[in-house]
């Protein structure tokens, strides 16, 4: 029997998921039997860095690529702050009166991540990650709360049509209403895929508008559309107030409608109490375990990056380089199939190695084909910067002695299965416990609101003692966030989340969560005084090394901005105490060169998703088992879900592995049907606006 070698380049979410599913996935199609890993085969996992996976495989930083859990004193039992990806949207798979068919197209949640967490036995660590309903803002040197915005106390922006008297996300709604044929909450995943290709402006617009009815949203930059419809002040208010600069740049307008519609009713966000990196530690452990059980030789190759890759004689032939000299090939090898589990910048670096040489006889330089290059550029790289801090007190909290004038609205209460279990052990009333099962994961800003919700169901008042029990068991503070138009942009409050409850309390915050142009502000403060740069930023792989300590000048700048946010304009930086520890991750640096990605205009992104995962499909006569997976070219950019879904689609379609979930109502990537034909419903609306209008066929990229 011929031995197969499968090589995966990248040990982040999509790389680990691919390895795990190759070892554990089931195949029921005989034509794919030869493609399944069997005893004696080889599975290689190349890692440019060296993640801290297990005691046997220690490393320099927490697992997870652009997920990076940072613990106080690097103690995994102590408090932590997420310096990369933080959470997932929970998919409730249990049928109920309010959720009779969890598998339908409208059920919210990241279905693959939720499933993986359950299959890895991590459900016991899954905890709510609630967002406050009353954010603190510091915009244009004014402190105010979301619930205080009104016609009498508008936000400090001169927005047309009294727009400053509403919330900043109202600008997104105003623009979305230009192109809707049914309520946005009724859009399924398939509907969105179709909308990305066929969605057009349907509203009647004045001649002064740059954009007009019938214009395809895929051909419009979102920044252009926002500015055209909201004006300068309206755009600034939406941009500043939503916290994410990446959400208002010139991305594919149709996709941005969905992104800024993210927090839909019913969405429940969760994370892992052990830190989000814990999911990737568990995945790696399962890979090692399953490979051994299956007799597959697993080779983990840390500190090694893919240098170049070509297709020749049915094999993926490649060179690799070592971390200490990443630009020079150190060796060559080949694989029966290869996965590039990496983002756009890292892929482009691989392509550069062979870009200026002619392909040899029988070779196909897949990555440097013009059509492949076009599709690779369909996603926009979005730089991101995150700075974490630990303190010995939660000075931002509203319920401490002498709170700040503008505390973060983080106090919250959530009933979880663990809450119910705890109270059952305390002999809590059965009727109240039964009522609480219908209120699981519903966030409450006050204990009084939660008590009222329970008593409205039971028609029985709880005693003072019982109310205290409930309050203590259900306290689950929100993470904020607070939003500023200063370079800190957003502050996320993790608090004391140590798993070792007997430790001295340490309170963590993400002191700066920003992206786009704000990242350069912090980048120039990284070195401190009397220091010159010693290596070019293009070769600084800090994201692989792990969180770096924040120099004193950057700490002082952060304290100054945090003081303005919580204590008011011109507050002295000393109002915020000196942190116990602080560290940053600059995701604009190699090898990621971006914290996340978003689709560019003027592309049929469904076609890109389907073709770029096996890029040889774009080259006439070529068939190379070289695959691209990851969030960059997914339906769920910036989420682990996107990385898992692209990897899953490759394994389903090219290796015959059965889908991990029933995906009939939840396509992992946009199906081909979404790109076909025209949207008759949209055409009917457009013809009402302009009776002379002819149906428009979608344009190809």
Is residue 688 very low, low, confident or very high in pLDDT (cuts 50, 70, 90)? low
* Residue 131 or residue 679, greater confidence: 131
- Decide if 275 is inside a domain: yes
List the single range of 244-258, 405-419, 572-586, 665-679 with lowest mean pLDDT. Answer: 665-679
Question: What's the pLDDT tens digit per position in 320-347?
Answer: 999 999 999 999 999 999 999 999 999 9
> Are residues 219 and 310 part of one domain?
no
Residue 698 Cα to chain centre, angstroms: 30
> Are residues 3 and 106 part of one domain?
yes
- Decide if 311 is inside a domain: yes
Taking residues 456-468, report their average pLDDT: 94
The total number of structural domains that make up the chain: 3
List the single range of 258-262, 447-451, 473-477, 685-689 with lowest mean pLDDT. Answer: 685-689
* Residue 372 or residue 440, greater confidence: 372
- Decide if 550 is inside a domain: yes
Average pLDDT, the chain: 93
- Decide if 168 is inside a domain: yes
Taking residues 631-655, report their average pLDDT: 98
CA distance 142 to 165: 15
Taking residues 451-479, report their average pLDDT: 94
> Are residues 621 and 500 part of one domain?
no
Taking residues 382-399, report their average pLDDT: 97
> Are residues 549 and 403 part of one domain?
yes
Task: Say whether pLDDT at 372 is over 90.
Answer: yes
Helix (H) or strand (E) holding 363: strand 363-364
Domain boundary among 529, 560, 580: 580
> Are residues 296 and 185 part of one domain?
no
Question: What's the pLDDT tens digit per position in 511-524?
Answer: 999 999 899 999 99
Task: Say whether pLDDT at 527 is over 70.
Answer: yes
> Are residues 300 and 333 part of one domain?
yes
Task: Say whether pLDDT at 683 is over 70.
Answer: no
* Residue 98 or residue 56, greater confidence: 56
- Decide if 593 is inside a domain: no
CA distance 501 to 465: 24
Taking residues 594-609, report their average pLDDT: 98
Q: What's the pLDDT score for residue 678?
A: 57
Instruction: Provide the percentage of residues in the chain whose pLDDT is more than 70.
Output: 95
- Decide if 597 is inside a domain: no
> Are residues 275 and 146 part of one domain?
no
> Are residues 367 and 238 part of one domain?
no
List the single range of 116-120, 461-465, 626-630, 657-661 with lowest mean pLDDT. Answer: 461-465
Judge contact between 488 and 420, C-beta under 8 A.
no
* Residue 180 or residue 476, greater confidence: 476
Is residue 267 very low, low, confident or very high in pLDDT (cuts 50, 70, 90)? low
* CATH number for position 620: 3.50.50.60
Quote the Cα angle for 481-60-70, to 5°: 20
Q: What token pair was written down for 337?
A: 């199939």
Domain boundary among 212, 241, 263: 263
> Are residues 284 and 425 part of one domain?
no
Domain that residue 172 falls in: 136-263
Nearest to 675 by CA among 606, 617, 615, 590: 606
> Are residues 462 and 374 part of one domain?
no
Q: What's the pLDDT score for residue 418?
A: 87
Task: Say whether pLDDT at 25 is over 50.
Answer: yes
Q: What's the pLDDT score for residue 701?
A: 30
Task: Say whether pLDDT at 263 is over 70.
Answer: no
- Decide if 693 is inside a domain: no
Q: What token pair was written down for 224?
A: 């252009």
Q: What's the pLDDT score for residue 679?
A: 56
Quote the Cα angle for 39-54-495, to 5°: 140
CA distance 480 to 73: 24
Q: What's the pLDDT score for residue 169?
A: 93
> Are residues 275 and 237 part of one domain?
no
Is residue 673 very low, low, confident or very high in pLDDT (cuts 50, 70, 90)? confident
Is residue 700 very low, low, confident or very high in pLDDT (cuts 50, 70, 90)? very low
Is residue 57 very low, low, confident or very high in pLDDT (cuts 50, 70, 90)? very high
List the single range of 1-15, 373-387, 637-651 with lowest mean pLDDT. Answer: 1-15
DSSP for 77-91 reads TS-EEESS---EE--
CA distance 521 to 498: 31
Is residue 677 very low, low, confident or very high in pLDDT (cuts 50, 70, 90)? low
Q: What's the pLDDT score for residue 671?
A: 96
Q: What's the pLDDT score for residue 696?
A: 42
Helices and strands (H, E) in the chain, number of each type: 19, 28
Taking residues 546-567, report their average pLDDT: 97
Handedness of CA 112, 115, 119, 124 (dihedral sign): positive
Q: What's the pLDDT score for residue 689?
A: 46
Taking residues 463-489, report their average pLDDT: 95
Q: What's the pLDDT score for residue 695?
A: 41
Task: Say whether pLDDT at 537 is over 70.
Answer: yes
Domain boundary among 238, 263, 288: 263
- Decide if 532 is inside a domain: no
Q: What token pair was written down for 61?
A: 């930083």
Q: What token pair was written down for 96?
A: 């109920």
> Are residues 375 and 388 part of one domain?
no
Is residue 118 very low, low, confident or very high in pLDDT (cuts 50, 70, 90)? very high
Task: Say whether pLDDT at 262 is over 80.
Answer: no
């Amino acid at each position: 029997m011929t031995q197969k070698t499968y090589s995966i380049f990248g040990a982040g979410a999509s790389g680990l998921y691919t390895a795990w599913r190759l070892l554990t996935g089931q195949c029921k199609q005989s034509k794919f039997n030869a493609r399944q890993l069997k005893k004696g085969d080889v599975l290689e996992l190349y890692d440019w860095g060296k993640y801290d996976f297990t005691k046997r495989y220690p490393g320099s930083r927490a697992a997870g690529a652009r997920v990076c859990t940072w613990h106080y004193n690097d103690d995994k039992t102590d408090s932590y702050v997420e310096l990369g990806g933080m959470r997932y949207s929970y998919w409730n798979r249990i049928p109920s009166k309010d959720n009779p068919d969890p598998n339908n197209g409208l059920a919210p949640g990241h279905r693959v991540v939720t499933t993986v967490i359950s299959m890895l036995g991590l459900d016991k660590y899954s905890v709510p990650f609630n967002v406050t309903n009353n954010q603190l803002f510091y915009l244009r040197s004014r402190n105010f709360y979301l619930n205080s915005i009104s016609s009498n106390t508008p936000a400090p922006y001169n927005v047309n049509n009294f727009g400053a008297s509403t919330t900043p996300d109202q600008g997104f709604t105003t623009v979305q209403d230009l192109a809707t044929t049914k309520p946005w909450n009724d859009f399924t995943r398939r509907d969105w895929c179709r909308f990305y290709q066929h969605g057009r402006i349907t509203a009647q617009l004045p001649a002064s508008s740059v954009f007009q009815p019938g214009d395809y949203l895929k051909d419009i930059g979102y920044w252009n559309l926002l500015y055209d419809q909201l004006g300068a002040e309206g755009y600034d208010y939406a941009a500043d107030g939503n916290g994410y600069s990446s959400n208002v740049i010139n991305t594919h307008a149709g996709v941005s409608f969905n992104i800024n519609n993210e927090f839909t009713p019913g969405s429940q966000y969760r994370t892992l109490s052990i830190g989000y990196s814990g999911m990737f530690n568990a995945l790696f452990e399962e890979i090692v375990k399953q490979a051994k059980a299956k007799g597959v030789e697993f080779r983990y190759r840390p500190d090694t990056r893919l240098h170049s890759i070509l297709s020749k004689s049915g094999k993926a032939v490649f060179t690799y380089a070592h971390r200490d000299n990443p630009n020079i090939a150190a060796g060559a090898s080949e694989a029966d199939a290869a996965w590039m589990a990496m983002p756009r910048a890292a892929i482009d670096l691989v392509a550069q190695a062979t870009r200026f040489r002619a392909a040899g006889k029988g070779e196909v330089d897949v990555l440097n084909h013009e059509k492949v290059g076009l599709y690779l550029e369909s996603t926009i790289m979005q730089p991101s910067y995150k700075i974490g801090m630990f303190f010995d007190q939660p000075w931002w909290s509203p319920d401490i002695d002498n709170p700040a004038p503008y505390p973060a609205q983080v106090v919250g209460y959530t009933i979880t299965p663990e809450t119910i279990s705890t109270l059952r052990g305390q002999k809590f009333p059965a009727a109240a416990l039964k009522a609480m099962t219908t209120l699981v994961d519903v966030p409450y800003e006050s204990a009084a609101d939660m008590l009222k919700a329970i008593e409205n169901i039971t028609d029985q008042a709880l005693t003072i003692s019982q109310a205290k029990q409930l309050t203590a068991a259900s306290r689950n503070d929100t993470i904020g966030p607070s939003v500023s138009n200063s370079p800190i942009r957003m502050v996320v409050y993790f608090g004391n989340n140590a798993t070792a409850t007997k430790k001295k309390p340490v309170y963590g915050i993400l002191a700066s969560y920003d992206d786009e142009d704000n990242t350069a502000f912090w980048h120039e403060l990284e070195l401190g005084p009397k220091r010159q740069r010693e290596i070019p930023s293009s070769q600084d792989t800090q994201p692989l090394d792990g969180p770096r300590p924040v120099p004193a000048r950057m700490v002082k700048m952060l304290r100054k901005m945090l003081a303005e946010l919580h204590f008011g304009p011109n507050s002295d930086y000393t109002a915020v105490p000196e942190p116990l520890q602080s560290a940053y991750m600059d995701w604009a640096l190699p090898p990621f060169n971006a914290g996340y990605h978003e689709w560019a205009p003027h592309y049929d992104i469904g076609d890109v998703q389907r073709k770029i995962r096996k890029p040889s499909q774009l080259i006439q006569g070529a068939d190379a088992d070289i695959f691209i997976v990851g969030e960059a070219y997914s339906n769920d950019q910036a989420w682990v879900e996107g990385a898992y879904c692209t990897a899953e689609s490759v394994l389903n379609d090219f290796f015959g592995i059965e889908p991990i979930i029933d995906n009939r109502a939840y396509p992992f990537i946009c199906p081909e049907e979404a790109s076909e034909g025209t949207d008759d419903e949209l055409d009917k609306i457009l013809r009402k606006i302009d009776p002379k209008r002819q149906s428009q066929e979608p344009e190809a990229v």
